[in-house]
Amino acid sequence: MLKKLDDIIARYDELTGLLANPDVIADMENWTKLSKEHAEIEEVALKYREYLAKEKEMNDAFAEAEAESDREMKELLSEEGYACRETLSAIREELKILLLPKDKNDERNCILEIRGGAGGDEAALFAYELYRMYQYYCDKHRFKFEPVEVSETELGGMKEAVVNIAGKGAYKALKYESGVHRVQRVPETESQGRVHTSTVTVAVLPEAEDVEVEINEKDIRVDVFRSSGAGGQKVNKTETAIRITHFPTGIVVSCQDERSQLKNKERAFKVLRTRLYDFYNSKNEQQYAQNRKSMVGTGDRSERIRTYNFPQSRVTDHRIGFSTFNIEGFMMGEIDEMLDALALADREAQLAGSEEI
């Protein structure tokens, strides 16, 4: 680990020199690339420099204490050395966190997909409540919440919703939400007061960049159709809705939220690229995902990850055994405590498998 840190400092110093080189500055594309690499390792390099300086300070203090004949001065120098040792221990923990593998998708926008599962109308109603919960959360954190496709039921529920969430770190914030969300409560239609159990599936996908997924025109079919609506004046009488079918994977994406056919097409392609990125990336990293030992789990949408128990006002995440007893606030988007606990558990699991410094 120390060898790795030494290499990082050497590369950081090399990059610092290169970025001040007139020849490098003249090549803006190369300068931008090197500048990005410099920024990525800067925090680790500076923290390791702090570690080395504190280590030298500790060694000097103990060496002076060993050579000192005055008892009182000897004790003061020893205390200084031990204080440095405690600081070094804290810096080591910081370095271990900084050296953990970064998720390349963390800073991206994301696509949120919500679908009613087992439970019929009750599942659809809860799917809508989860949709609103994430919308409240995004409003609170100033993420842009843009519906792409929403399929509603007659009772005010939701069969399916696809939403684009834009903002730096959107995927990082919500990536642990993928999985099966279970609700236990008495439905409004239940006359005998029995508690029913229903499920909703949630998927959070990192948004793909245009250059990362190439879509061949021969592999897709684009259909234009009339948007469905709630009836009356809300029904769109022109064909603005878009459906894209990707033949090689069988992925189908629809978008009818916008009144403009062009905007719907643009959003549909964005979702298609994201799903293709997830599809191909999942295949490539399947073995890695199976081997990864994380308390948070794989995030696979087939996992039952959380239970919302309304009679007990309790929300429990089964991956980390964490519960909160404020279900009303939780459904209003106050989910930060849960998300922070999931991120912390994931980090601790990674630290448990990391090398010692």
Are residues 231 and 312 located together in one domain of the fold?
no
DSSP letter string, 295-343: TT----TTSEEEEEETTTTEEEETTTTEEES-HHHHHTT--HHHHHHHH
CA 191 to chain centre: 41
Q: Quote the CA–CA distance of 151 and 162 in Å, as a whole number.
A: 9
Q: Kindly report the CATH number assigned to the domain that includes residue 230.
A: 3.30.160.20
Q: Quote the CA–CA distance of 133 and 237 in Å, as a whole number.
A: 31
Q: Token digits for 125?
A: 């109603």
Burial of residue 52 (number of CB atoms within 10 Å: 0-12, 13-18, 19+): middle
What pLDDT shows up at residue 230? 45
Look at residue 254 and tell me if it is in a domain: yes
Are residues 74 and 20 located together in one domain of the fold?
yes
Q: Is the pLDDT of residue 149 over 60?
A: yes
Are residues 51 and 191 located together in one domain of the fold?
no
Of these ranges, 166-170, 294-298, 346-350, the one predicted with the greatest mean pLDDT is 166-170
Contact 182, 310 (CB under 8 A): no
Look at residue 291 and tell me if it is in a domain: no
Are residues 124 and 165 located together in one domain of the fold?
yes
Which residues make Cβ contacts (< 8 Å) with residue 351, sequence separation at least 6?
Answer: 96, 97, 100
Contact 63, 30 (CB under 8 A): no
Q: What is the mean pLDDT of residues 334-338?
A: 96
Task: Pick the closest to residue 87 from 68, 61, 108 (CA basis).
Answer: 61
Q: Quote the CA–CA distance of 181 and 310 in Å, as a whole number.
A: 13
pTM: 0.72
Give pLDDT tens digits for 1-33.
788 999 999 999 999 999 999 999 999 999 999
Contact 130, 80 (CB under 8 A): no
Q: Is the pLDDT of residue 107 over 80?
A: yes
Based on the structure, what is the number of domains in the chain? Answer: 3
Is pLDDT larger for residue 72 or for residue 238?
Answer: 72
Task: Give the number of other Cβ atoms within 10 Å of residue 237's Cβ.
Answer: 9
Strand 110-116 with 241-246, pairing: unpaired
Are residues 186 and 217 located together in one domain of the fold?
no
Instruction: State which of 73, 98, 123 marks the end of a domain.
Output: 98
Look at residue 349 and tell me if it is in a domain: yes
Are residues 264 and 120 located together in one domain of the fold?
no
Per the prediction, the chain carries an average pLDDT of 86
Q: Quote the CA–CA distance of 175 and 107 in Å, as a whole number.
A: 11
Task: Pick the closest to residue 314 from 195, 213, 158, 208 (CA basis).
Answer: 195
Residue type, 81: G
Percent of residues, the chain, with pLDDT higher than 90: 55
What pLDDT shows up at residue 356? 64
What pLDDT shows up at residue 331? 97
What pLDDT shows up at residue 233? 41
What pLDDT shows up at residue 351? 82
Q: In this predicted structure, which of 134-148, 159-173, 257-271 has the lowest mean pLDDT? A: 257-271
Give pLDDT tens digits for 57-105.
999 999 999 999 999 999 999 999 999 999 999 999 899 888 888 888 8
Q: What is the mean pLDDT of residues 237-249?
A: 80
What pLDDT shows up at residue 343? 92
| Full domain range(s) for residue 336 | 109-207+303-357
Give pLDDT tens digits for 253-300.
888 766 677 888 888 888 888 888 888 877 666 544 544 444 455 445
Q: Is the pLDDT of residue 224 over 80?
A: yes
Q: Is the pLDDT of residue 141 over 50?
A: yes
Look at residue 139 and tell me if it is in a domain: yes
Percent of residues, the chain, with pLDDT higher than 70: 87
Look at residue 295 and tell me if it is in a domain: no
